[in-house]
Amino acid sequence: MALPSIKQVTKITALITFLGGTLFLLAFYLTMSLSAAILGIVYGELIMLINLAVLTAIIVRAHYHAIPLPTALKAIEILLINVPVSILYLWIGITLSNYVRITFVNPNKAIVENLRVSGCDDKLIQQLNTGQSKTVWIKIPNDCSITINYTIGQQTKQEDVTSYVTNGGGYITTFNINTKQKPCKSDL
């Protein structure tokens, strides 16, 4: 059985690198969990070592004329395509970790009006009908907490949504309004 060509090895390595990185970024986007972040980082480190090993093999084989220089350069080019993609994915991951995504749910029999989110960032939800929900993205500029003020049944109320968040500590949560829910916490 013949060994795969250097082009096949680099194409497969580049494809696995790209698809794996994309899946881990998607998992982090959907869950914002510490586990997804750590697995993505470990995957990135492992795949970087594999890419460096393939790159080294190409350079060594080209140096000893085992493969023609144009073939080696094309293979190196294929591997290096993932470098800007990796930088972009890292930037997206860091940016995501600086946001809290909160889905506010109105489980009450009354309409929630003028729901003002304040603390880290100011947002306004005009109205949430019974059973309705709305997700807001709140940027974390520094150490802060998130509170809400709203009107329900002619009464103005205030609740703590998060007691403390900081840069890099973003997460996704659901907050049920007017249910005496404890403030949310991040696992990051």
pLDDT per residue as tens digits for the range 126-185: 999 999 999 999 999 999 999 999 999 999 999 999 989 999 989 999 999 999 888 877
Residues 57 and 3: their CA atoms lie apart, in Å, by 14
**pLDDT at residue 53 tops 80:** yes
Q: Are residues 11 and 71 in the same domain?
A: yes
Nearest to 117 by CA among 141, 150, 156: 150
The domain that holds 108 is classified in CATH as 2.60.40.2890
Final residue in a domain of this structure, among 96, 123, 149: 96
Residues facing residue 101 across a β-bridge: 137, 172
Owning domain of residue 110: 99-176
Write the DSSP assignment of 144-177 as a string of letters.
EEEEEEEEETTEEEEEEEEEEE-TT--EEEEEET
Residue 60 in any domain: the answer is yes
pTM summary value: 0.81
